[in-house]
Amino acid sequence: MKTKIIFGILLLAVCSAGIPAAAQTTKTTLTVTADDQSRYYGDPNPVLTITYSGFVNGDTEASLTVKPTAVVAATPSSLVGTYPITASGGVSGKYDFNYVAGILTVKNYYVFNPAVTASDIVYGQTLASSTISPASAVSASDGSPVTGSWAWDDNSIKPNAGDQNFTATFTPTDPQQYKMQSFVTVHVAPVLLTITKSIASLQASPIGRITLTVNGIVSGDGYSDIFSGINSCTIPGVTCTYDSDDGSGTFTFDVGTTADNASASGTLALGLTGNYSTSDNLSFLVFGESTGAQLTNPIQVNQVNVAAFNSYAGSGDGLSKNYGQVEDITLPIPASGGSNSEFLTSYPYPVE
């Protein structure tokens, strides 16, 4: 009996010796990542997928007892934004699961409207004066119409004259569903100026001057904003220059001294910047003195400047004609040193 008991104990010991080896086997960690997804507002959720990392010995997803699944709380009516995608539920005798969440991004539908236009404005006005139409757009997803309104991103901009593009944003009636920012072209017309030219004697100053009174200037603009400069000056021996701006629309240009202009004549022509236009003539004919000379030209009498010719004894009766009539008038040019040794008038005729 003792021998049998000892044998049994030994046999039990031998059999039990192999049990700890199997019981100490550990599982491998399997990383399960929910893949990122995106969709547009109002659409159903896409199929949610999972990516694995950590399979060993040729195992695949099919080797798992229960496959994990991914879920997201967002529905088609969920607002634009991001939502976590979580994975869970995996079962395996070989693997422990490490779950990594993904992200579902719910996006706006984009819209466009290739036919959108903006109303014209005039230089000096801001974009706030230009209206964008029509008040609609088109869905980039299916071409369906989208209601809403357009607005300039910065309606305080005061653009220069010409056709220019500025950014505008479309705000849909349903702000969750659509969005858009686009360039819209606006036409900016130049300002029409009224320019009155003085007809003055150069004898009044050591320097001959042409003075312009300009009406219609946009507030804050000065000489360089209005005039592009002196386009030409063809008076022999004379350099024509811009002199001054009194800040209220009166601009003065120098055309040389009385000595420079002796027995000389030529033209001074000015140009305007693209922001301004005028129907008035910007070319001026300058006459110098010439003793005993007489100038005969067809002149259209303007009641505004008739008084400027009163000191000249015309041989014709043109000065008595009504405004708008044309008459050949002979204007004698007094000798040097006279009270009106030189004079200016506009060119080409008629005088305005």
Going residue by residue through the chain (352 aa), what tens digit of pLDDT does each one get? 444 444 444 444 444 455 454 456 799 999 999 999 999 888 899 999 999 999 999 999 999 999 999 999 999 888 888 999 999 999 999 999 999 999 999 988 777 666 788 999 999 999 999 999 887 777 766 777 888 888 899 999 999 999 999 988 888 887 666 767 678 899 999 999 998 876 443 433 445 678 889 999 999 999 999 999 999 988 777 778 898 888 899 998 887 654 544 445 677 889 999 999 999 888 876 655 433 333 333 333 333 333 344 333 333 333 333 333 333 333 433 333 333 333 333 323 333 3
The residues, any chain, with a CB within 8 Å of residue 226's CB and separated by 6 or more, are 193, 214, 217, 272, 273, 275, 276
Q: Residue 19: enclosing H or E segment and its boundaries?
A: helix 19-23
pTM exceeding 0.75: no
Helix (H, G, I), strand (E, B) or coil at 62: helix
Architecture of domain 26-107: Sandwich (2.60)
Residues in the chain, total: 352
DSSP code of residue 220: T
Task: Confirm if 190 and 218 have CB atoms less than 8 A apart.
Answer: no
- Residue owning tokens 């204007």: 331
Backbone angles phi, psi at 143, to 5 degrees: 80, 5
